[in-house]
Structure 1
Amino acid sequence: MVTQRAYKFRFYPTPTQKRQLAIEFGHARYVWNWALERRTKAYKAQGESLNTIRLSRQLTVLKQTECPWLSEATASCHTQKLRDQDRAFKNFFAGRGKYPRFKRRHQTQSVRYQLDQRHVAKNFNAESKLLKLPKLGTLKLKWSQRMGGIPKMVTVSKDPAGRYFVSMACEVEIAALPARKNAVGVDVGVKDVVVTSSGDKSGAPKYTYQYARQLKKAQRRLSKKKKGSQRRRRQQQRVARIHARIADSRRDFLNQQSSKLINENQVICLEDLNIKGMLRNRRLSKAVADCGLYELRRQIECKAKWYGREVLIVDRWAPTSKRCSECGTIQESMPLKVREWECPDCGTEHDRDINAAKNVLRWGTAGSAETDKARGAVKTPRAVA
């Protein structure tokens, strides 16, 4: 299968490269904010919509008159920011995103470079670990994975924790995994992030709770720093590093779980949960967000396309937790505090999550007809398992 695959590497810039990147980030941020202001004022005053081509012409005049210092940065980075904003407005008008906002200095900064495909061999070579960018020279990267293909664009970013990254996307051919004959049902939840119909439980690392004490201490110190001072900015970076450690740990855990499901099973059945609705529960929202349930489903679906697996989605209204997987009897209610229960009809003892995973597998492989039949008179959504 030929597809676009993204690669992200840690970047360790030299002091000279840091200074140049500070210029690139600052100029790109200025161009974004300048273009956003021009678009907003033009629409409010005259009902006129400005696009990238018209703004690019105005930007050229701006460089020649009011802001000659913009020439210190790479010109292609300015153009890419205008294109990014054009895409952001298209997403806004299509209902896929919010109205674009002005960028701040201490948020994530990024610039995108376009590689000249005529001379790309001089600037990029994955085998010899070579990458050169305009006005930056050779970059020192942590080549943590092998790359396939040749990128057309390279994005350099800096996160609030002060770390630099390089991202590239290439067209690669991914070989499908050997076909298997088994299928698995997956129930996700807070106590165990992944529970399979075969009885495997992943547990829940709860990284937010693991780092809660460090985060609380760092945020308390941040609240006492004077606004606008260098000490406050350094403390902000310390807080951002803790958040980055939590996010990286969670992402690594979810990658391990999704890869395990893809490698061991041909068909994966998932439940179509309302994640946004779960996050509105004031008692469970923090725990649900810490599990990364939406990211887990996204990874499974993406890897399934790459490696020739099949993902089946079960209706969110199906009573997976309160239905006996042996005889099919549906209980009237099943509170969250009930983790184990015995079926009054057949006497089978159930683990709540494993029983739900078995039902997900059955309804996922049986199709929508049996799911609609099993729903019956169910009128309320199932709570978070």
Structure 2
Amino acid sequence: MLRHKVYKYRIYPTNEQAILIMKTIGCSRFVYNHFLDQWNMSYADTGKGLTYSACSKLLTDLKRQPDTEWLREVDKFSLQNALRNLADSFTRFFSHQNDKPHFKSKKNPIQSYTTHFTNNNIAILDKSIKLPKLGFVKCAKSQEPQGRIVKATIRKQASGRFFVSILCEEDIHELPKTDSAIGLDLGITDFAVFSDGHKVDNHRFTTKMEAKLKREQRKLSRRALVAKKNGVSLLEAKNYQKQKRKVACLHEKVTNQRNDFLNKLSTAIIKNHDVICMEDLHTKGMLRNHKLAKSISDVSWSSFVAKLQYKAEWYGRAIIKVDQWYPSSQICSECGHRDGKKSLGIRKWMCPACHAHHDRDINASNNIRNEGLRLYTLE
């Protein structure tokens, strides 16, 4: 079945190419903000907004005006995609899927633009990638993309590093059946506990980097104060900007470590099991608990579940979500006896009915598996 798959590579543009990338990002942001303002004024005056087609015609006129003729210097597809993103944002807003579109800021830590594939303007070679207007850019290729290239997104991180994401349309085949089902209990002490007794450690990536992050962020604050004292804008304060990139590199390292861990674990689960049963966690509500919010954010349950879901859809696996209020920790997985509510401090207990000894988390994952399989047979 044809699916969209993204390949992300780090690129190493020359100084001229980096300048052109930043120009293109700036022009895309200008076009988005300009037509957002036009859209808002049209809606205030007539009660109706604009359309992508109407904005596209106005963009052509905008390029011909002396004050904005510099828009012709950059990739035209990046400007058209800025308009598409604006139109999609309004469509989702009126469908109650997201908030009203806001103006883009150049102070955003991640800046990007998107271009489309046409007439072989995007090509991936051995050690470089061909991009519209930029030509051949040095690239660190980690894997070979398959299928038809659809579009590319060029991104500059807060760390100053450049990346390109290539969206390809591929024919992805389902994995062979394993006749295996697994229950999965997500936690904080252990990231995941499986019904077969296997536990995956929570690596606590943010916590391990916390001391270093605090130290570097204090340096950043001091340099901001020095710049303010000397009457220098933060954008022009070189020491502040240097330290800002250093802090961003640390945050980026934590993000990369976490994504690598989540991708490897989710892929292993999908490869080895046909049915994956797990709790339907309400993460947003759990984050309101200020004592656990930091730990919950660090483990990234939502990101992990999202990765499992799209990989299951790709490879023909089933994800079964058990209701979050299902008492998985209170039921004996051996005899089904329901015991009283247990505090989080109780990690091991014995069933008063069948006298089976239970590890709290393994017992919960077994109950999630049993309930998930029951729900699976009803579908």
State if a TM-score over 0.5 links the two structures: yes
Secondary structure of the 1:68 match is helix
Deviation at 1:3, TM superposition (A): 1.3
Deviation at 1:151, TM superposition (A): 0.8
1:202: which partner in 2?
Answer: 200
1:43: which partner in 2?
Answer: 43
1:131: which partner in 2?
Answer: 129
Alpha carbons of 1:331 and 1:165: their partners in 2 closer, same or farther (altered >3 Å)? same
* 2:90 matches 1:92: no
1:53: which partner in 2?
Answer: 53
Alpha carbons of 1:369 and 1:61: their partners in 2 closer, same or farther (altered >3 Å)? closer
Deviation at 1:123, TM superposition (A): 4.6
2:150/2:169 contact within 8 Å kept: no
1:123/1:130 contact within 8 Å kept: no
Structure 2 unaligned runs (5+)? Answer: 228-232
Structure 1 unaligned runs (5+)? Answer: 371-385
Secondary structure of the 1:289 match is helix
Q: Distance in 2 between matches of 1:8 and 1:250?
A: 16
Q: What does 1:253-332 correspond to in 2, within 5 Å?
A: 253-332=261-340
Q: Distance in 2 between matches of 1:27 and 1:70?
A: 6
Which digits, 9 at most, give the CA deviation of each residue in 1:320-379, with x for residues without a partner? 111111121222211112211222222222111101000001001112899xxxxxxxxx
Alpha carbons of 1:344 and 1:331: their partners in 2 closer, same or farther (altered >3 Å)? same
2:128/2:140 contact within 8 Å kept: no
Whichever residue aligns with residue 112 of structure 1, its letter is: T
1:114: which partner in 2?
Answer: 116
Secondary structure of the 1:209 match is helix
1:5: which partner in 2?
Answer: 5
1:69: which partner in 2?
Answer: 70
Whichever residue aligns with residue 81 of structure 1, its letter is: A
Secondary structure of the 1:211 match is helix
Mean CA deviation greater in 231-240 or 163-172: 231-240
* Number of residues of Structure 1 aligned to a counterpart in Structure 2: 366
Secondary structure of the 2:174 match is coil
Which digits, 9 at most, give the CA deviation of each residue in 1:109-167, with x for residues without a partner? 11112222xx32x75255x4653222211121111112111212111111212121111
Mean CA deviation greater in 36-45 or 75-84: 36-45
1:159: which partner in 2?
Answer: 157
Q: Distance in 1 between matches of 2:376 and 2:136?
A: 55
Q: Distance in 1 between matches of 2:157 and 2:36?
A: 22
Q: Distance in 1 between matches of 2:346 and 2:38?
A: 58
Aligned residues: CA RMSD: 1.8
Which digits, 9 at most, give the CA deviation of each residue in 1:75-114, with x for residues without a partner? 2211110111111111111111111122121321111122
